[in-house]
Amino acid sequence: MNENETKGLSWPVALLVTAMICLMAFLMARMLSAEKERVLSRTTLLPCTSSQSIHVLGKGVVYTDGTSLRALNASGRQIWSYVVGSNCGYSVGEGGVAGWSGNLLVALNASSGEALFSASLGQNVLSAVAGSQYTAALVGEETDATLIVLENSGREIDRIALPDITVLDYGFFNGGAMLWVMSLDTNGTVPMSQVTTYRPGRMQAGSITDSEQVVYEVMFDTPRVSAVGTTYIRVYDYAGTEDTSQRTLVYGWYLMDSAASKGGTLMAFVPMTEIGTSARINDIRVIRGGLDRTIRMPFACFDIAVHGNAVYGFSEQYVMIRDVSAARAEVYRLPFSCDSLVGVTAGNAVVLVSGDSVYMVSLP
Class of 164-251 in CATH? mainly beta
> How would you write the pLDDT of the chain (364 residues) with one tens digit per residue?
444 444 444 655 555 656 666 556 554 545 444 445 689 999 999 999 999 999 999 999 999 999 999 999 999 999 999 999 999 999 999 999 999 999 999 999 999 999 999 999 999 999 999 999 999 999 998 888 999 999 999 999 999 999 999 999 999 999 999 999 999 998 888 899 999 999 998 888 899 999 999 999 999 987 899 999 999 999 999 888 999 999 999 999 999 999 987 778 999 999 998 887 667 899 999 999 889 999 999 999 999 999 999 999 999 999 999 999 899 999 999 999 999 999 999 999 999 999 999 999 999 8
Closest CA to 206 of 185, 227, 228, 230: 227
Strand order through the sheet with 125-130: 125-130, 134-141, 144-151, 156-163
* Per-residue model confidence (pLDDT) at position 21: 66
Based on the number of CB atoms within 10 Å of its own CB, is 241 exposed (0-12), middle (13-18) or buried (19 or more)? exposed
Domain boundaries, the chain: 164-251, 253-333
Query: Which residue type occupies 56?
Result: V
